[in-house]
Chain A
Amino acid sequence: MTMIDWQALLASPPAAVPDRATDDDAGDAPDGAGGGAPARAGNGHAADEALRMVMREHAGGGADARNVCILVGTVRRERYGPNGKARPPVASPLGVRYAPYRMDIEEPGGLAYSMPLSVSARLMESGLFTDGARIQINGAVRLEQTYDRAFAVHPDDAGLPTWETRLDVLAVARASDAVPDGSWVKIVGEVDGGPVIRDETLGPGVRRATATVRIRCRRTLHSIVAGARAVHALTTLIPADVALDGSVEGAAALLKHGNQVVVEGRLLPRVYQRRRGDPRIQAALAAAEEAIRAKGGPADEVDRRVAAMRRRMLTGVRMTVDVGYVELVKGRMLTDEEVTRLIATGGGPRRTPGTPPPPPPLPPRAEIDAALDAALLALPSVPTAVAPPNGGAPWMG
Protein backbone atom coordinates (compact mmCIF):
# COMPACT_ATOMS: atom_id res chain seq x y z
CA MET A 1 0.00 0.00 0.00
CA THR A 2 1.24 3.45 -0.79
CA MET A 3 0.48 6.46 1.33
CA ILE A 4 0.47 9.99 0.06
CA ASP A 5 2.48 11.56 2.81
CA TRP A 6 4.97 13.70 1.00
CA GLN A 7 4.43 17.18 -0.15
CA ALA A 8 6.50 19.56 -2.15
CA LEU A 9 5.72 23.22 -2.63
CA LEU A 10 6.02 25.00 -5.92
CA ALA A 11 5.88 28.60 -4.97
CA SER A 12 6.74 31.81 -6.72
CA PRO A 13 9.89 30.99 -8.63
CA PRO A 14 11.89 34.05 -9.65
CA ALA A 15 11.21 35.39 -13.11
CA ALA A 16 14.88 35.31 -14.00
CA VAL A 17 16.88 32.29 -15.01
CA PRO A 18 19.26 31.24 -12.22
CA ASP A 19 22.78 32.33 -12.87
CA ARG A 20 25.43 29.77 -13.50
CA ALA A 21 27.63 31.04 -10.69
CA THR A 22 25.01 29.94 -8.22
CA ASP A 23 24.74 26.57 -9.89
CA ASP A 24 28.48 26.13 -9.79
CA ASP A 25 28.32 26.74 -6.09
CA ALA A 26 26.78 23.31 -5.79
CA GLY A 27 29.84 21.73 -7.19
CA ASP A 28 29.89 18.92 -4.68
CA ALA A 29 27.26 17.06 -6.63
CA PRO A 30 27.37 13.29 -6.49
CA ASP A 31 28.48 11.21 -9.40
CA GLY A 32 26.23 11.32 -12.37
CA ALA A 33 24.07 14.01 -10.93
CA GLY A 34 23.15 16.30 -13.76
CA GLY A 35 26.54 15.88 -15.33
CA GLY A 36 27.17 16.23 -19.01
CA ALA A 37 24.61 16.70 -21.70
CA PRO A 38 22.92 13.39 -22.23
CA ALA A 39 21.03 12.63 -25.38
CA ARG A 40 17.61 13.98 -24.61
CA ALA A 41 14.99 12.73 -26.97
CA GLY A 42 11.64 11.08 -26.85
CA ASN A 43 9.90 13.41 -24.43
CA GLY A 44 6.52 11.79 -24.94
CA HIS A 45 7.97 8.37 -24.47
CA ALA A 46 9.64 9.42 -21.23
CA ALA A 47 6.37 10.87 -19.97
CA ASP A 48 4.55 7.66 -20.76
CA GLU A 49 7.19 5.70 -18.92
CA ALA A 50 6.94 8.00 -15.93
CA LEU A 51 3.16 7.78 -15.91
CA ARG A 52 3.35 4.04 -16.07
CA MET A 53 5.73 4.13 -13.14
CA VAL A 54 3.32 6.23 -11.12
CA MET A 55 0.42 4.00 -11.96
CA ARG A 56 2.41 0.89 -11.23
CA GLU A 57 3.66 2.14 -7.91
CA HIS A 58 0.34 3.46 -6.76
CA ALA A 59 -2.06 0.90 -8.12
CA GLY A 60 -4.84 0.57 -5.58
CA GLY A 61 -3.18 3.02 -3.27
CA GLY A 62 -5.70 5.79 -3.67
CA ALA A 63 -4.13 7.64 -6.57
CA ASP A 64 -5.57 7.64 -10.03
CA ALA A 65 -4.72 9.15 -13.35
CA ARG A 66 -7.01 12.16 -13.06
CA ASN A 67 -4.30 14.51 -11.80
CA VAL A 68 -0.76 13.54 -12.64
CA CYS A 69 2.32 15.70 -12.74
CA ILE A 70 5.85 14.65 -13.60
CA LEU A 71 8.67 17.05 -12.96
CA VAL A 72 12.28 16.49 -13.95
CA GLY A 73 15.08 18.82 -12.96
CA THR A 74 18.15 19.42 -10.87
CA VAL A 75 17.82 20.08 -7.16
CA ARG A 76 20.12 22.12 -5.03
CA ARG A 77 19.92 23.18 -1.42
CA GLU A 78 19.09 26.84 -0.74
CA ARG A 79 22.14 28.56 0.65
CA TYR A 80 22.85 31.96 2.05
CA GLY A 81 25.69 34.05 3.40
CA PRO A 82 29.29 34.37 2.20
CA ASN A 83 30.12 30.82 3.28
CA GLY A 84 27.17 29.31 1.47
CA LYS A 85 25.60 27.78 4.55
CA ALA A 86 22.55 25.66 3.87
CA ARG A 87 19.33 27.27 5.01
CA PRO A 88 17.97 25.35 7.99
CA PRO A 89 14.70 23.44 7.73
CA VAL A 90 11.52 25.14 8.91
CA ALA A 91 8.63 23.48 10.68
CA SER A 92 5.13 23.66 9.25
CA PRO A 93 2.13 24.37 11.51
CA LEU A 94 1.38 20.66 11.30
CA GLY A 95 4.74 19.74 12.76
CA VAL A 96 6.48 18.55 9.63
CA ARG A 97 9.95 19.94 8.98
CA TYR A 98 10.73 21.12 5.47
CA ALA A 99 14.15 21.82 4.03
CA PRO A 100 14.33 24.59 1.45
CA TYR A 101 15.58 23.43 -1.93
CA ARG A 102 15.42 24.85 -5.41
CA MET A 103 14.68 22.87 -8.52
CA ASP A 104 16.32 24.11 -11.69
CA ILE A 105 14.52 23.15 -14.85
CA GLU A 106 16.03 23.74 -18.26
CA GLU A 107 13.65 22.53 -20.93
CA PRO A 108 14.98 21.44 -24.32
CA GLY A 109 13.04 24.28 -25.96
CA GLY A 110 15.11 26.87 -24.14
CA LEU A 111 12.75 27.71 -21.28
CA ALA A 112 14.66 27.73 -18.01
CA TYR A 113 13.46 28.59 -14.56
CA SER A 114 14.10 27.79 -10.94
CA MET A 115 11.44 27.12 -8.38
CA PRO A 116 11.49 26.76 -4.62
CA LEU A 117 10.82 23.25 -3.41
CA SER A 118 10.07 22.45 0.22
CA VAL A 119 11.23 18.93 0.94
CA SER A 120 9.88 17.15 3.98
CA ALA A 121 12.20 15.35 6.36
CA ARG A 122 10.65 12.05 5.30
CA LEU A 123 11.41 12.79 1.69
CA MET A 124 14.95 13.75 2.63
CA GLU A 125 15.45 10.23 3.94
CA SER A 126 15.19 8.95 0.41
CA GLY A 127 18.74 10.19 -0.10
CA LEU A 128 17.84 11.59 -3.50
CA PHE A 129 17.98 15.23 -2.48
CA THR A 130 21.64 16.06 -2.85
CA ASP A 131 23.04 19.15 -4.47
CA GLY A 132 23.08 18.79 -8.22
CA ALA A 133 21.09 15.57 -8.35
CA ARG A 134 18.71 15.20 -11.27
CA ILE A 135 15.49 13.76 -9.99
CA GLN A 136 12.02 12.97 -11.25
CA ILE A 137 9.08 13.87 -9.05
CA ASN A 138 5.69 12.33 -9.69
CA GLY A 139 2.61 13.68 -8.01
CA ALA A 140 -0.48 15.84 -8.34
CA VAL A 141 -0.86 19.62 -8.55
CA ARG A 142 -3.44 21.77 -6.85
CA LEU A 143 -4.11 25.35 -5.78
CA GLU A 144 -3.78 26.13 -2.10
CA GLN A 145 -4.30 29.36 -0.23
CA THR A 146 -1.38 30.47 1.86
CA TYR A 147 0.12 33.68 3.21
CA ASP A 148 3.12 35.51 1.86
CA ARG A 149 5.17 36.42 4.92
CA ALA A 150 7.07 39.05 2.98
CA PHE A 151 3.99 41.25 3.36
CA ALA A 152 3.61 40.87 7.12
CA VAL A 153 3.79 44.29 8.76
CA HIS A 154 3.95 43.18 12.39
CA PRO A 155 4.81 39.94 14.20
CA ASP A 156 1.21 38.75 14.46
CA ASP A 157 0.44 39.46 10.82
CA ALA A 158 0.22 36.28 8.76
CA GLY A 159 1.03 38.15 5.55
CA LEU A 160 -0.70 38.63 2.24
CA PRO A 161 -3.28 35.93 1.40
CA THR A 162 -2.27 34.36 -1.87
CA TRP A 163 -2.95 31.26 -3.93
CA GLU A 164 -0.05 29.04 -4.80
CA THR A 165 0.27 25.96 -6.91
CA ARG A 166 1.40 23.02 -4.81
CA LEU A 167 2.65 19.63 -5.79
CA ASP A 168 1.63 16.64 -3.70
CA VAL A 169 4.50 14.26 -4.21
CA LEU A 170 3.68 10.61 -4.71
CA ALA A 171 7.07 9.32 -5.74
CA VAL A 172 10.61 10.51 -6.30
CA ALA A 173 13.25 8.76 -8.36
CA ARG A 174 16.64 9.59 -9.78
CA ALA A 175 16.06 10.86 -13.32
CA SER A 176 17.52 8.95 -16.18
CA ASP A 177 19.95 10.85 -18.37
CA ALA A 178 17.70 10.02 -21.29
CA VAL A 179 14.87 12.07 -19.79
CA PRO A 180 15.15 15.80 -20.49
CA ASP A 181 14.36 18.48 -17.94
CA GLY A 182 10.75 19.61 -17.95
CA SER A 183 7.33 18.76 -16.72
CA TRP A 184 4.22 17.01 -17.88
CA VAL A 185 0.77 17.39 -16.42
CA LYS A 186 -2.39 15.47 -17.14
CA ILE A 187 -5.69 16.55 -15.65
CA VAL A 188 -9.11 15.02 -16.07
CA GLY A 189 -11.74 17.35 -14.72
CA GLU A 190 -14.38 19.97 -15.23
CA VAL A 191 -13.94 23.57 -16.33
CA ASP A 192 -14.79 25.75 -13.35
CA GLY A 193 -16.14 29.20 -14.20
CA GLY A 194 -15.57 31.31 -17.25
CA PRO A 195 -12.17 32.15 -18.66
CA VAL A 196 -10.13 35.28 -18.16
CA ILE A 197 -8.81 36.42 -21.52
CA ARG A 198 -5.64 38.45 -21.68
CA ASP A 199 -3.36 39.62 -24.43
CA GLU A 200 0.08 38.11 -24.31
CA THR A 201 2.69 40.25 -26.02
CA LEU A 202 4.88 38.16 -28.32
CA GLY A 203 6.80 41.06 -29.80
CA PRO A 204 6.47 44.69 -30.79
CA GLY A 205 2.86 45.07 -31.86
CA VAL A 206 2.24 41.32 -31.94
CA ARG A 207 -0.16 39.94 -29.41
CA ARG A 208 -1.81 36.63 -28.76
CA ALA A 209 -4.98 36.01 -26.85
CA THR A 210 -4.52 33.58 -23.97
CA ALA A 211 -7.23 32.23 -21.73
CA THR A 212 -6.70 31.43 -18.08
CA VAL A 213 -9.16 28.86 -16.78
CA ARG A 214 -9.54 26.74 -13.69
CA ILE A 215 -10.05 23.00 -13.89
CA ARG A 216 -11.81 21.28 -11.04
CA CYS A 217 -10.45 17.81 -10.52
CA ARG A 218 -12.26 15.37 -8.28
CA ARG A 219 -10.44 12.31 -7.06
CA THR A 220 -11.32 9.67 -4.53
CA LEU A 221 -9.12 8.46 -1.74
CA HIS A 222 -9.75 5.10 -0.17
CA SER A 223 -9.09 4.35 3.45
CA ILE A 224 -5.64 3.22 4.50
CA VAL A 225 -7.19 0.04 5.87
CA ALA A 226 -7.81 -2.67 3.31
CA GLY A 227 -11.49 -3.49 3.10
CA ALA A 228 -12.65 -0.27 4.69
CA ARG A 229 -15.67 1.21 2.98
CA ALA A 230 -14.92 4.86 3.61
CA VAL A 231 -14.13 6.83 0.48
CA HIS A 232 -12.97 10.42 0.65
CA ALA A 233 -13.49 12.89 -2.15
CA LEU A 234 -10.52 15.11 -2.90
CA THR A 235 -11.51 18.11 -5.00
CA THR A 236 -8.77 20.39 -6.23
CA LEU A 237 -8.56 23.37 -8.54
CA ILE A 238 -5.75 23.74 -11.03
CA PRO A 239 -5.06 26.93 -12.99
CA ALA A 240 -4.39 26.46 -16.70
CA ASP A 241 -3.40 28.78 -19.54
CA VAL A 242 -4.32 27.98 -23.11
CA ALA A 243 -3.41 29.93 -26.23
CA LEU A 244 -6.33 30.98 -28.40
CA ASP A 245 -4.37 31.41 -31.64
CA GLY A 246 -5.31 28.01 -33.00
CA SER A 247 -2.10 26.32 -31.90
CA VAL A 248 -3.98 24.11 -29.44
CA GLU A 249 -6.70 22.13 -31.11
CA GLY A 250 -9.87 22.01 -29.08
CA ALA A 251 -8.90 24.95 -26.89
CA ALA A 252 -12.49 26.19 -27.21
CA ALA A 253 -13.57 23.27 -25.03
CA LEU A 254 -11.88 24.96 -22.07
CA LEU A 255 -13.86 28.16 -22.47
CA LYS A 256 -17.23 26.87 -21.30
CA HIS A 257 -18.08 26.36 -17.66
CA GLY A 258 -19.00 22.78 -16.84
CA ASN A 259 -17.28 21.08 -19.77
CA GLN A 260 -15.58 17.83 -18.81
CA VAL A 261 -12.16 17.68 -20.37
CA VAL A 262 -8.85 15.87 -20.45
CA VAL A 263 -5.94 18.27 -20.51
CA GLU A 264 -2.27 17.69 -20.97
CA GLY A 265 0.40 20.33 -20.62
CA ARG A 266 3.42 21.42 -18.68
CA LEU A 267 4.06 23.55 -15.65
CA LEU A 268 4.98 27.10 -16.54
CA PRO A 269 5.81 30.11 -14.37
CA ARG A 270 3.63 33.12 -15.06
CA VAL A 271 4.87 36.52 -13.96
CA TYR A 272 2.29 39.03 -12.81
CA GLN A 273 2.24 42.43 -11.17
CA ARG A 274 0.59 42.78 -7.79
CA ARG A 275 -1.99 45.53 -7.29
CA ARG A 276 0.00 48.39 -5.80
CA GLY A 277 -3.25 50.08 -4.74
CA ASP A 278 -4.01 47.27 -2.29
CA PRO A 279 -3.77 48.77 1.23
CA ARG A 280 -2.00 45.66 2.56
CA ILE A 281 0.61 45.85 -0.15
CA GLN A 282 1.01 49.59 0.45
CA ALA A 283 1.54 48.96 4.15
CA ALA A 284 4.11 46.23 3.51
CA LEU A 285 5.99 48.40 1.03
CA ALA A 286 6.02 51.28 3.49
CA ALA A 287 7.29 49.03 6.30
CA ALA A 288 10.01 47.51 4.11
CA GLU A 289 11.11 50.94 2.91
CA GLU A 290 11.23 52.20 6.46
CA ALA A 291 13.40 49.25 7.48
CA ILE A 292 15.80 49.89 4.62
CA ARG A 293 16.05 53.60 5.38
CA ALA A 294 16.56 52.86 9.08
CA LYS A 295 19.69 50.87 8.22
CA GLY A 296 21.10 54.04 6.66
CA GLY A 297 23.90 54.36 4.13
CA PRO A 298 24.62 56.58 1.15
CA ALA A 299 21.44 58.14 -0.20
CA ASP A 300 21.96 56.71 -3.70
CA GLU A 301 22.52 53.23 -2.33
CA VAL A 302 19.46 53.44 -0.09
CA ASP A 303 17.30 54.62 -3.00
CA ARG A 304 18.60 51.78 -5.14
CA ARG A 305 17.80 49.23 -2.45
CA VAL A 306 14.32 50.68 -1.97
CA ALA A 307 13.62 50.55 -5.72
CA ALA A 308 14.86 46.95 -5.90
CA MET A 309 12.71 45.99 -2.93
CA ARG A 310 9.63 47.54 -4.53
CA ARG A 311 10.24 45.73 -7.82
CA ARG A 312 10.74 42.44 -6.00
CA MET A 313 7.65 42.75 -3.84
CA LEU A 314 5.36 43.97 -6.61
CA THR A 315 6.31 41.15 -8.96
CA GLY A 316 4.73 37.79 -8.33
CA VAL A 317 5.14 34.46 -10.07
CA ARG A 318 2.58 31.70 -10.09
CA MET A 319 2.99 28.25 -11.54
CA THR A 320 0.26 27.40 -13.99
CA VAL A 321 -0.42 24.57 -16.42
CA ASP A 322 0.42 25.52 -19.98
CA VAL A 323 -2.09 23.50 -21.97
CA GLY A 324 -0.86 21.65 -25.04
CA TYR A 325 -3.64 19.15 -25.58
CA VAL A 326 -7.38 19.28 -24.91
CA GLU A 327 -9.92 16.55 -25.28
CA LEU A 328 -13.61 17.22 -24.71
CA VAL A 329 -15.23 14.37 -22.81
CA LYS A 330 -18.64 15.86 -22.13
CA GLY A 331 -20.16 19.23 -22.87
CA ARG A 332 -20.08 21.60 -25.80
CA MET A 333 -17.23 23.27 -27.56
CA LEU A 334 -17.68 26.97 -28.24
CA THR A 335 -18.03 27.97 -31.87
CA ASP A 336 -15.49 30.23 -33.56
CA GLU A 337 -17.96 33.13 -33.36
CA GLU A 338 -18.44 32.60 -29.62
CA VAL A 339 -14.68 32.45 -29.06
CA THR A 340 -14.21 35.67 -31.04
CA ARG A 341 -16.90 37.37 -28.98
CA LEU A 342 -15.33 36.08 -25.78
CA ILE A 343 -11.93 37.46 -26.75
CA ALA A 344 -13.52 40.81 -27.58
CA THR A 345 -15.27 41.01 -24.21
CA GLY A 346 -12.27 39.80 -22.21
CA GLY A 347 -13.78 36.70 -20.62
CA GLY A 348 -16.84 34.89 -19.41
CA PRO A 349 -19.66 36.33 -17.39
CA ARG A 350 -18.46 34.99 -14.03
CA ARG A 351 -14.99 36.39 -14.16
CA THR A 352 -15.27 39.45 -16.37
CA PRO A 353 -12.93 42.11 -15.03
CA GLY A 354 -15.62 44.71 -15.56
CA THR A 355 -15.43 48.37 -14.82
CA PRO A 356 -16.71 49.69 -11.53
CA PRO A 357 -19.85 51.79 -11.77
CA PRO A 358 -19.11 55.50 -11.89
CA PRO A 359 -19.55 57.28 -8.57
CA PRO A 360 -22.80 59.19 -8.19
CA PRO A 361 -22.55 62.88 -9.07
CA LEU A 362 -21.80 65.16 -6.16
CA PRO A 363 -24.85 66.98 -4.83
CA PRO A 364 -24.76 70.81 -4.76
CA ARG A 365 -22.78 72.19 -1.83
CA ALA A 366 -25.75 74.29 -0.70
CA GLU A 367 -27.87 71.16 -0.41
CA ILE A 368 -25.23 69.50 1.78
CA ASP A 369 -24.88 72.59 3.98
CA ALA A 370 -28.65 72.82 4.44
CA ALA A 371 -28.82 69.15 5.44
CA LEU A 372 -25.95 69.60 7.89
CA ASP A 373 -27.62 72.67 9.41
CA ALA A 374 -30.79 70.65 9.89
CA ALA A 375 -28.80 67.81 11.45
CA LEU A 376 -27.12 70.25 13.82
CA LEU A 377 -30.44 71.64 15.03
CA ALA A 378 -31.82 68.12 15.39
CA LEU A 379 -29.05 66.95 17.73
CA PRO A 380 -30.79 65.35 20.71
CA SER A 381 -28.39 66.83 23.24
CA VAL A 382 -25.63 69.37 23.61
CA PRO A 383 -22.53 68.79 25.71
CA THR A 384 -22.82 69.63 29.39
CA ALA A 385 -20.05 72.18 29.18
CA VAL A 386 -22.09 74.19 26.71
CA ALA A 387 -25.65 73.67 27.90
CA PRO A 388 -26.86 75.05 31.24
CA PRO A 389 -27.11 72.45 34.05
CA ASN A 390 -30.41 70.59 33.96
CA GLY A 391 -30.15 68.53 37.10
CA GLY A 392 -29.03 65.33 35.40
CA ALA A 393 -25.91 63.38 36.10
CA PRO A 394 -23.11 65.93 36.14
CA TRP A 395 -21.04 64.12 33.55
CA MET A 396 -23.77 63.08 31.13
CA GLY A 397 -23.61 64.79 27.75
Chain B
Amino acid sequence: MDGVIELIGRTSQWRRRMRRDGEGAVIAAWLRPAAGAAAGVVGVYLPEERVPDGAALPARTQAIIRATLRPLHVHALDGDHRLPHDPDGTLLLLEALDAAPWDRVTPPLPWTGAPVALTAPPRAVGNGWLADLSLPDVVGYAPSGVPAAVGAVLVGRAVGGVTAEVGGRSWLRPLVWLAAADAAGRA
Protein backbone atom coordinates (compact mmCIF):
# COMPACT_ATOMS: atom_id res chain seq x y z
CA MET B 1 0.00 0.00 0.00
CA ASP B 2 2.99 2.21 -0.46
CA GLY B 3 2.97 5.05 -2.86
CA VAL B 4 0.62 7.84 -3.62
CA ILE B 5 -1.87 7.53 -6.44
CA GLU B 6 -2.78 10.70 -8.28
CA LEU B 7 -6.10 10.59 -10.05
CA ILE B 8 -8.03 13.07 -12.11
CA GLY B 9 -11.73 12.53 -12.49
CA ARG B 10 -15.22 13.67 -11.76
CA THR B 11 -16.34 13.46 -8.16
CA SER B 12 -19.80 12.88 -6.79
CA GLN B 13 -21.18 14.79 -3.81
CA TRP B 14 -19.09 14.28 -0.69
CA ARG B 15 -21.20 12.71 2.02
CA ARG B 16 -20.64 11.49 5.52
CA ARG B 17 -20.59 7.72 6.02
CA MET B 18 -20.20 5.70 9.18
CA ARG B 19 -17.34 3.22 9.37
CA ARG B 20 -18.20 -0.46 9.68
CA ASP B 21 -14.97 -1.47 11.35
CA GLY B 22 -15.33 0.80 14.36
CA GLU B 23 -16.60 4.11 15.55
CA GLY B 24 -16.34 7.31 13.63
CA ALA B 25 -17.20 8.58 10.23
CA VAL B 26 -15.52 9.54 7.00
CA ILE B 27 -16.36 12.00 4.28
CA ALA B 28 -16.55 10.06 1.03
CA ALA B 29 -17.33 10.44 -2.65
CA TRP B 30 -17.38 8.30 -5.77
CA LEU B 31 -14.77 9.20 -8.36
CA ARG B 32 -14.94 8.38 -12.05
CA PRO B 33 -11.30 8.63 -13.07
CA ALA B 34 -10.44 10.07 -16.45
CA ALA B 35 -6.69 10.00 -15.98
CA GLY B 36 -4.22 8.32 -13.70
CA ALA B 37 -3.81 4.73 -12.59
CA ALA B 38 -7.51 3.97 -12.29
CA ALA B 39 -10.58 3.13 -14.31
CA GLY B 40 -14.30 2.69 -13.71
CA VAL B 41 -15.62 3.85 -10.35
CA VAL B 42 -13.64 4.19 -7.16
CA GLY B 43 -14.67 5.20 -3.67
CA VAL B 44 -12.52 7.88 -2.03
CA TYR B 45 -12.68 8.97 1.59
CA LEU B 46 -11.11 11.33 4.10
CA PRO B 47 -11.28 10.94 7.88
CA GLU B 48 -13.91 13.29 9.20
CA GLU B 49 -11.51 15.05 11.57
CA ARG B 50 -9.38 16.14 8.62
CA VAL B 51 -12.25 17.85 6.84
CA PRO B 52 -14.22 19.87 9.37
CA ASP B 53 -15.86 21.64 6.48
CA GLY B 54 -16.77 18.99 3.92
CA ALA B 55 -18.31 21.64 1.69
CA ALA B 56 -14.80 22.80 0.78
CA LEU B 57 -14.09 19.60 -1.13
CA PRO B 58 -14.56 19.69 -4.91
CA ALA B 59 -17.93 18.05 -5.54
CA ARG B 60 -19.53 17.18 -8.88
CA THR B 61 -16.56 18.54 -10.73
CA GLN B 62 -13.19 17.54 -12.20
CA ALA B 63 -10.77 17.14 -9.34
CA ILE B 64 -7.25 15.95 -8.78
CA ILE B 65 -6.98 13.61 -5.86
CA ARG B 66 -3.85 12.32 -4.17
CA ALA B 67 -4.56 9.14 -2.27
CA THR B 68 -3.23 5.89 -0.93
CA LEU B 69 -4.70 2.43 -1.38
CA ARG B 70 -6.36 1.73 1.96
CA PRO B 71 -9.71 -0.06 1.57
CA LEU B 72 -12.37 0.85 4.13
CA HIS B 73 -15.79 -0.70 4.73
CA VAL B 74 -18.57 1.80 5.44
CA HIS B 75 -22.33 1.68 5.83
CA ALA B 76 -23.95 2.37 2.47
CA LEU B 77 -26.31 5.27 1.94
CA ASP B 78 -29.07 5.59 -0.62
CA GLY B 79 -27.44 5.99 -4.00
CA ASP B 80 -24.26 4.15 -3.04
CA HIS B 81 -22.90 1.19 -4.96
CA ARG B 82 -23.07 -1.85 -2.68
CA LEU B 83 -21.08 -5.03 -2.25
CA PRO B 84 -22.88 -8.15 -3.50
CA HIS B 85 -22.18 -10.13 -0.33
CA ASP B 86 -22.93 -7.17 1.98
CA PRO B 87 -25.89 -5.18 0.61
CA ASP B 88 -25.88 -2.74 3.55
CA GLY B 89 -22.25 -1.82 3.12
CA THR B 90 -19.78 -0.71 0.55
CA LEU B 91 -16.03 -0.47 0.11
CA LEU B 92 -14.05 2.69 -0.42
CA LEU B 93 -10.67 1.87 -1.92
CA LEU B 94 -8.66 5.05 -1.50
CA GLU B 95 -7.91 7.27 1.46
CA ALA B 96 -7.39 10.72 0.03
CA LEU B 97 -4.51 12.86 1.22
CA ASP B 98 -5.98 15.90 -0.45
CA ALA B 99 -8.54 16.77 -3.09
CA ALA B 100 -8.58 19.94 -5.14
CA PRO B 101 -10.30 21.23 -8.25
CA TRP B 102 -8.26 20.22 -11.29
CA ASP B 103 -6.55 23.11 -13.08
CA ARG B 104 -6.77 21.27 -16.45
CA VAL B 105 -2.99 21.49 -16.81
CA THR B 106 -1.41 19.33 -14.15
CA PRO B 107 -1.05 15.69 -15.24
CA PRO B 108 -1.21 12.93 -12.63
CA LEU B 109 2.06 11.37 -11.55
CA PRO B 110 2.52 7.68 -12.31
CA TRP B 111 1.82 5.21 -9.53
CA THR B 112 4.52 2.85 -8.39
CA GLY B 113 1.94 0.19 -7.67
CA ALA B 114 1.23 -2.00 -4.66
CA PRO B 115 2.09 -5.64 -4.01
CA VAL B 116 -0.89 -7.95 -3.68
CA ALA B 117 -1.19 -11.69 -3.21
CA LEU B 118 -3.69 -14.01 -4.84
CA THR B 119 -5.78 -15.85 -2.25
CA ALA B 120 -8.08 -17.87 -4.53
CA PRO B 121 -7.79 -19.65 -7.84
CA PRO B 122 -8.31 -17.28 -10.78
CA ARG B 123 -11.29 -17.58 -13.08
CA ALA B 124 -11.43 -16.50 -16.69
CA VAL B 125 -13.35 -13.42 -17.78
CA GLY B 126 -13.09 -12.55 -21.47
CA ASN B 127 -9.43 -12.67 -22.43
CA GLY B 128 -8.27 -12.03 -18.90
CA TRP B 129 -8.87 -13.45 -15.43
CA LEU B 130 -10.14 -12.47 -11.98
CA ALA B 131 -8.92 -13.59 -8.57
CA ASP B 132 -9.50 -12.69 -4.94
CA LEU B 133 -6.64 -10.77 -3.37
CA SER B 134 -5.08 -10.33 0.02
CA LEU B 135 -7.02 -7.08 0.23
CA PRO B 136 -10.43 -8.09 1.60
CA ASP B 137 -13.32 -7.71 -0.85
CA VAL B 138 -11.01 -6.45 -3.59
CA VAL B 139 -10.68 -8.47 -6.78
CA GLY B 140 -7.55 -8.59 -8.89
CA TYR B 141 -8.13 -8.34 -12.65
CA ALA B 142 -5.69 -8.97 -15.41
CA PRO B 143 -7.14 -8.06 -18.81
CA SER B 144 -4.89 -10.59 -20.54
CA GLY B 145 -2.10 -13.08 -19.91
CA VAL B 146 -1.65 -16.37 -18.13
CA PRO B 147 -3.38 -16.75 -14.76
CA ALA B 148 -1.03 -16.77 -11.77
CA ALA B 149 -1.11 -19.38 -9.05
CA VAL B 150 -2.70 -19.01 -5.64
CA GLY B 151 -0.24 -17.34 -3.29
CA ALA B 152 1.64 -15.52 -6.04
CA VAL B 153 2.58 -11.98 -5.12
CA LEU B 154 1.87 -9.58 -7.96
CA VAL B 155 1.97 -5.83 -8.34
CA GLY B 156 -1.27 -3.92 -8.59
CA ARG B 157 -0.79 -1.32 -11.31
CA ALA B 158 -4.09 0.52 -11.09
CA VAL B 159 -7.28 0.66 -9.05
CA GLY B 160 -10.92 1.04 -9.89
CA GLY B 161 -14.19 -0.77 -9.92
CA VAL B 162 -17.13 -1.74 -12.02
CA THR B 163 -20.80 -1.34 -11.22
CA ALA B 164 -23.95 -3.01 -12.46
CA GLU B 165 -27.63 -2.36 -11.85
CA VAL B 166 -29.47 -5.51 -10.82
CA GLY B 167 -32.75 -5.70 -8.93
CA GLY B 168 -33.07 -1.97 -8.50
CA ARG B 169 -29.69 -1.55 -6.79
CA SER B 170 -26.23 -0.72 -7.98
CA TRP B 171 -23.61 -3.36 -7.17
CA LEU B 172 -19.90 -2.71 -6.94
CA ARG B 173 -16.86 -4.86 -7.62
CA PRO B 174 -13.73 -3.05 -6.39
CA LEU B 175 -10.73 -3.89 -8.54
CA VAL B 176 -6.97 -3.80 -8.54
CA TRP B 177 -5.63 -4.06 -12.08
CA LEU B 178 -2.80 -6.48 -12.61
CA ALA B 179 -0.54 -6.00 -15.61
CA ALA B 180 -0.21 -8.93 -18.02
CA ALA B 181 3.49 -9.19 -17.28
CA ASP B 182 2.73 -9.54 -13.60
CA ALA B 183 0.18 -12.17 -14.31
CA ALA B 184 2.84 -14.23 -16.05
CA GLY B 185 4.78 -14.28 -12.83
CA ARG B 186 7.44 -11.70 -13.68
CA ALA B 187 6.40 -9.18 -11.11
Contact = CB atoms under 8 A, between A and B. Distances in A.
Contacts of A373: 125, 130
A383 B162 contact: no
Contact of A396 (B35, B141, B175): B35
Contact of B141 (A155, A361, A362, A376): A376
B33 A385 contact: no
B164 A371 contact: yes
Interface in B24-48: 24-25, 33-40
Interface stretch (B66-74, B89-97, B108-116): B108-116
Contact of A368 (B35, B84, B107, B111): B84
Contacts of B79: none
Q: Is the interface of B mostly helix, strand, loop or mixed?
A: strand
Contacts of B126: 376-377
Nearest to B124: A373
B178 interface: yes
Interface residues of A, number: 35
Given A385-B111, A397-B35, A376 B173 contact: yes
B167 A362 contact: yes
Given A371-B164, A375-B162, A397-B34, A382 B52 contact: no
Interface stretch (A9-17, A262-270, A278-286): A278-286
B39 A397 contact: yes
A387 B158 CA distance: 11
A376 B37 contact: no
A387 B142 CA distance: 10
Given A385-B113, A395-B108, A363 B162 contact: no
Interface in A20-66: none
Contact of B52 (A154, A369, A396): A154
A379 B39 contact: yes
Contact of A371 (B108, B130, B171): B171
A382 B39 contact: yes
A214 B26 CA distance: 39
Contacts of B162: 372, 375-376, 379
A395 B8 CA distance: 10
B157 A372 contact: no
B134 interface: no
B4 to A, nearest CB: 14
Given A371-B171, A377-B126, A383-B158, A397 B164 contact: no
B163 A375 contact: yes
B87 to A, nearest CB: 6
Interface residues of B, number: 47
Interface in B155-182: 157-158, 160, 162-169, 171, 173, 175, 177-180
Given A283-B16, A368-B166, A374-B164, A383 B37 contact: yes
Given A154-B53, A283-B16, A368 B33 contact: no
A360 interface: yes
A371 B125 CA distance: 12
B104 interface: no
B185 interface: no
A384 interface: yes
Interface string A266-295: 000000000000010011001000000000
B38 A383 contact: yes
Nearest to B172: A372
Given A154-B52, A395-B107, A369 B158 contact: no
Contacts of B107: 393-395
Contacts of A377: 125-126
A376 B173 CA distance: 9
B143 A386 contact: yes
A375 B38 contact: no
Which 3 residue pairs across A and B have the least CB separation, nearest first? A383-B158, A371-B164, A363-B167
Interface of B: 16, 18, 23-25, 33-40, 52-53, 84-85, 87, 107-108, 110-111, 113, 125-126, 130, 141-143, 157-158, 160, 162-169, 171, 173, 175, 177-180
Given A383-B39, A383-B157, 12 more contacts: A155-B52, A286-B24, A365-B84, A367-B167, A368-B171, A372-B163, A372-B171, A374-B164, A376-B126, A382-B177, A385-B158, A393-B107
29 contacts: A283-B16, A283-B25, A361-B167, A363-B167, A367-B167, A368-B166, A369-B84, A371-B165, A371-B171, A376-B126, A376-B173, A377-B125, A379-B39, A379-B162, A382-B143, A383-B38, A383-B158, A383-B177, A384-B37, A385-B110, A386-B143, A386-B157, A386-B158, A387-B143, A395-B35, A395-B108, A395-B110, A397-B37, A397-B38
